Amino acid sequence: MFAPLQNDSFLRACLRQPTEHTPVWLMRQAGRYLPEYRATREKAGSFMGLATHVDFATEVTLQPLERFPLDAAILFSDILTVPDAMGLGLSFQQGEGPKFAKVVRDEAAVAALEVPDLDKLRYVFDAVTSIRRALNGRVPLIGFSGSPWTLACYMVEGGGSDDYRLVKSLMYARPDLMHRILDVNARAVAAYLNAQIEAGAQAVMVFDSWGGVLADGAFQEFSLRYSRQVLAAVKTEHEGVRIPRILFTKGGGLWLDEIADAGADVVGLDWTMNLGQARARVGNRVALQGNLDPNVLFAPPEAVRAQARAVLDSFGPPAAGSGHIFNLGHGISQFTPPDSVTALVDEVHSHSRRLRASL
């Protein structure tokens, strides 16, 4: 049904198999820093217009691959499609983040929550299949979702937050309600990711973007537990092929040991974590993905290259059983000069080849 894969370095690194270079992709690589993305976005009229239109979603997913020799593509979508399908009404205001028309803050709203009919997310699965076809085997396609906790943050707050006051108030005052939201979310996210895999996703990633705002103890109870529930229910292979699963908790470095045991093949790291120390802590339990500060990309090309080398050197020489996928520690900024990405990707490929040659 799909063309055979020409560059499998990303999938191999996820599974801690040897690669000729360190594969690299960038969170939000299809995005506003690219003029061609802004042009397509203009045609689509709105972010959701873009994400829900199969041809547009396919077009923007492939745009960064035309410019940069990236080693993976990631579905163009949003982490909040699942609560939207639950009927909460997702929208994006110009210049602001996501907003939900309905919020989940009381007993009645929590009781009404259900795992959504996956047919409401058909546009996502259609986009996955369309993108996989359009990729034609160039690189693997990654599917994704927000984590149960991260979805809950938006569902309770109604949008972004700088203090997570409402969601944490509910969590501390009514942990029973919070657990019910998280259980529904976990079942929905697992079904959603499995449907993406069936539609053609070759790896999946759980974005626990807001796990790091939780207190020690609360993180384990309200975030990690439900990411683990998702990972336990998501396919590990499809049609005989392994499907790597990535768990990324922004600000989760302190809990790395526990995160590494959550059932993912790959743990994503932000830039606060020393990659060499992380590797020493997880051993060969999981591969690691990360972890350049996206703000490095505002420096001149030579500084970008030096910082890219520092990340690769920090991970250290590739060795049997280890795996590293180069990425940023957060989504690329809309203000990034595309030439910085050219320098970055080139340096990751060339320096990681040199590291292998010197072994």
Catalytic residue among 33, 154, 192, 226: 154
The whole-angstrom separation of Cα 47 and Cα 292 is: 27
CB of 53 to its own copies, least distance (A): 29
| Catalytic, out of 28, 132, 228, 305 | 28
Q: Is 261 a catalytic residue?
A: no
Q: How far is the CB of 294 from its own copies (least distance, A)?
A: 8
Mark whether 28 is an active-site residue.
yes
Q: Of 38 and 165, which CB lies nearer to its own copies in the complex structure?
A: 165
In the set 41, 132, 228, 279, the catalytic residue is 41
Instruction: Indicate the angle between helix axes 175-199 and 165-173, nearest 10 degrees.
Output: 120
Least separation in angstroms between CB 292 and its own copies: 8
Degrees to nearest 5, angle at CA 73 with 279 and 146: 70
The Cα–Cα gap between 345 and 23 comes to 9
Beta carbon of residue 150, minimum distance to its own copies (angstroms, whole number): 16
Give whichever of 195 and 303 is closer to its own copies, judged by the CB atom. Answer: 303
Sequence-ordered list of residues with C-beta below 8 angstroms from that of 251, at least 6 positions apart, any chain: 211, 212, 213, 270, 272
**Does residue 41 carry a catalytic annotation?**
yes
* Residue 133 bears catalytic tag: no
The helix (H) or strand (E) run that includes residue 10 is helix 9-14
Looking at residue 309, its amino acid is: R
Closer to its own copies by CB, 66 or 162: give it. Answer: 162
Q: CA of 358: how far to CAs of 63, 168, 198, 306, 311, in Å? A: 34, 50, 41, 18, 17
Which tokens sit at 298?
């505002």
Shortest gap between Cβ of 277 and its own copies (angstroms)? 8
Q: Write the CA distances from 242 to 12, 86, 128, integer angstroms.
A: 10, 30, 18
Report angle CA 292, 190, 104 to the nearest 5 degrees. 90
Query: Which residues contribute to the site for its own copies (CB under 8 A)?
Result: 162-165, 168-169, 172-173, 212, 214-219, 251, 253-254, 271-274, 291-293, 295-296, 298-300, 303, 307, 310, 329, 333, 335
CB of 228 to its own copies, least distance (A): 19
Question: Residue 185, preceding bond cis, omega within 30 degrees?
Answer: no
Please, which residue, 219 or 248, has the CB nearer to its own copies? 219
Q: Give min distance, CB of 125 to its own copies, in A.
A: 32
| CB-nearer residue toward its own copies: 4 or 217 | 217
Q: What is the DSSP string of 290-338?
A: EEE-GGGGGS-HHHHHHHHHHHHHHH-S--TT--EEEEESSPPPTT--H
Residue 96 has a CB neighbour count (10 Å cut-off) of 10
18 vs 337, which CB is nearer to its own copies?
Answer: 337
Q: One of 8, 71, 78, 208 is an active-site residue; which one? A: 78
Catalytic-residue membership of 78 = yes
Between 42 and 176, whose beta carbon lies closer to its own copies? Answer: 176
Return the active site residues. Answer: 28, 32, 41, 78, 154
